[in-house]
Amino acid sequence: MLLGKYQTIEKYPLVLCGARYVPCMIYSPGDGRHVAGELYEVDDDCLNRIDALEQIQDPDGYRRLVIRVSPIGRVNQDIKEALAYFMLPEQVADRRSNDLKTYGPNEAKKYTLRKEKQLTPD
């Protein structure tokens, strides 16, 4: 369920990375910008599916961390704790953008899907 549009209380770098222009929020509190996005309430099953998508179990996957957010336009008011997916600074080598405030349609146009592995019959 969509709770609304929120922004991070702390500043973080949000950049596009790699040849596929993958959006990546980097866990470097105090750097970057107040990142804006949508806040959702999800159940455990949905959270588990997002964790799998973000590959949090892999060494090079995202890390799920608790952050604080407030509604856009009401900075530092109605603060909530939220889960966010980050890359650690040492995981990010190929930045393709400056710090972004949000990941919107213009940034999404640059994204390319991962090529699926082709299975060959034995």
Residue 120: the pLDDT is: 54
Domains of the chain: 2-95 (3.10.490.10)
Reported as a single tens digit per residue, the pLDDT across 29-70 is 999 999 999 999 999 999 999 999 999 999 989 999 999 999
Positions marked active-site: 54
For residue 97 the two structure tokens come to 């953008």
Closest CA relative to residue 41, chosen from 81, 87, 86: 81
Residue 114: the pLDDT is: 77
Residue 116: the pLDDT is: 63
Residue 47: the pLDDT is: 96
Greater model confidence, 73 or 42: 42
